[in-house]
Structures are given as C-alpha cells and as structure tokens.
Amino acid sequence: MRLVIVGYGNVGRLFGELLAEKMATLRGQYHLTPRIVGVVTGRRGGWIAENPEGIAASVVAEAGWPATVDVPVGAVPFSGDALALLNAVDADALVELSPTNPATGEPALSYVRAALAKGLHVVTANKGPIALAYRELRDTAAQHGVQLRFESAVMDGTPIINLAQFTLPATEILGVRAIINATSNFILSGLVAGQSFDETLARAQQIGIAEADPSLDLDGWDAAVKLTIIANVLMGADIRPQDVVRESSAAHMQTLTANLSAGSVAKQVATITRTAEGVEARVVLHVLTADDSLAGIGQGKAAIQFTTDTMGDLTIIEGPGTPRQTAFGVLADLITIAAHR
C-alpha cells in the first residue's frame, strides 16, 4: 500500500516508527506492506520517493528525518502543499495528520476531499473534517469505492469506532456518557485533591496536556467536537459542534469542587441522549457519586460509556493518552482498510 502522509509531527514520526517496528507482523498476518511515496509538513518541507513504489518506513526512521536530514535516502525534496503532492504521486491511501481546526476543518478537509475524489483511502487523526463534514465524506468515499477511517480522532487510539461498528452487530446505541477531555479532567482532579486552579493548570501545561490557551478544553469545545463525531457516526445523527450544549467549566470549577460532599467528585461529562427529534448532546459539569462508573476516572485518563439495547452499559477506560497511542490508532485503521478492501 503506497502512502502519502500529510503532517509529520510527534504522531507522524511515531506512526512511521510503528510501521517499521510492526512490518513483519503487517506482512505476515495482514498481507500489508505499506511504503511511503511522499510526505509534506507545515514547517519542515516535504519529499517524494524516487521509486514510484515508495520508501520503507524503516529507511525514514533510521534517517531521523526531519530532525537530522533534509530528505531520506531515495527521496527528493518537495516544496508544494498537500494538494500538489496528491497530484504529483500515485498512491493508495492518504494518512492525514495535520493540526486540527475545529472551526472550519481546513486545510485538512480539503486534503481529505481531494484524496477521496482521486480514489484514495483516507486515514485521519484529525477531528475537524469528521465533525464538520462526515456525511459528505462518507458518501464520497462510497461513491469512489474507498474507505474513510478515523479511529484516532476521538480517544487517541482506543477502539471506540471499531468497537461499535465491528463488534456490536444489530445493536443500537441508545446513549453515551463520556469523559473525553484530558485538560478539564486533569484540572478537576487536581482541585478535588486540594491544589489551586492556577497550580493545576500550570502543571497541565508543563506536561503538555493543556494548551497555552486552554479555553477550547475548559469551555467544552474539544469535547463537543468529539461528541459530534460519536453522535453522527455511531448514532445516525446530523449535528455540528455548535449544536452541542456547552457549559463554561472554568467559571464553575473552583466553586463546585470547593463544595463537594464527602465521596463525590466533579467531572466535565459529555453526554448524548436520544430524543423524539434525534439526539441531544451536552458537555457540562456534573457532580458524581462514588458509585458512578465515571467517578474514578482520574488525572490523564478518559472513558466512554455506551448504553445499548443488547449489552446494557459498556464502559471503556483509557489510561493516560500518548502520541504513540494516537499513532497506533492510525496504524489500526490501515489494517482495517487492508482487511476490508
């Protein structure tokens, strides 16, 4: 499988390393031999493989690109953007790992549209295009006989989408409760433990969980984007992130945690409920009692609980999310594509 990769930051680099590390397994168990025909980045340029069949991921990893060399052995520099790269090479799949734009989905949305229209499979870890244009992209993929996969867009590499689509046949998801924003959960857990808001936020920023401006996380936008994907993909809804009811957590966190009763905790909980009109999605602060399955989701962790008509409640808990887990979700999606093409 010939790959075009857009974005080669932490996740892209770790994805390349995973490709190299798991190559024997990919070939032996899945009859899959990915090779990279071109890469483009936002700040470090890009390259095209001299061999139309691409370069092995191990060659790229061993070269240390982009940190140590201009291009890997067997490649030539490329200065165009992602759309130009898609037109410059023959590929089987686009791996789209550029930064998320939750407002418009761009420029990733244009990259995904172009790749699907050219008959390429697409794997993306980018929330924006899926939250804002899932139905359009799904239909375009079907029209061209290719697959669109995005496991890493919701909860790192935790198999939320694949779990529902491949292991719960003839099952209706009736509702969702989730803790899916690491920053808000980290800060709330710290406040409950007696730390100050500023101290906990500074710690979250120091270890890379929180952005310099954490408002997208604390005001519920990040969780709303993820919730939109879950609702549209797994529950047949047609909503946008702005349709999600949000509560500004930052304004209430300190007051709420200061007045908790013994054994209770405060969490930013994302919920989807079926209604007569479709679904209602909300991201608000909740006080949870100790017997609630989401109450024990501590700093760095995430969880999602599906209420189903066949299996009752299913709760999936993820430990501290890492870029390697996100990279694994991308690799898992490539394996899914290979298994179902």
Task: Just list the catalytic residues.
Answer: 226
Identity of residue 80: G
Compute the Cα dihedral for 157, 159, 162, 166 and give only its sign: positive
Token pair 């924003």: residue: 181
Helix, strand or coil for residue 146? coil
DSSP 212: S
Buried b (16+ CB within 10 A) or exposed e, 265-295: bbbbbbbbebeeeebbbbbbbbbbeeebebb
Burial classification of residue 303, based on how many CB atoms lie within 10 Å of its CB (0-12 exposed, 13-18 middle, 19 or more buried): buried
Burial classification of residue 135, based on how many CB atoms lie within 10 Å of its CB (0-12 exposed, 13-18 middle, 19 or more buried): exposed
Q: Return the closest-CA partner of residue 307 out of 267, 279, 266.
A: 279
- Could you give the CA distance from residue 6 to residue 110 in angstroms, rounded to a whole number? 12
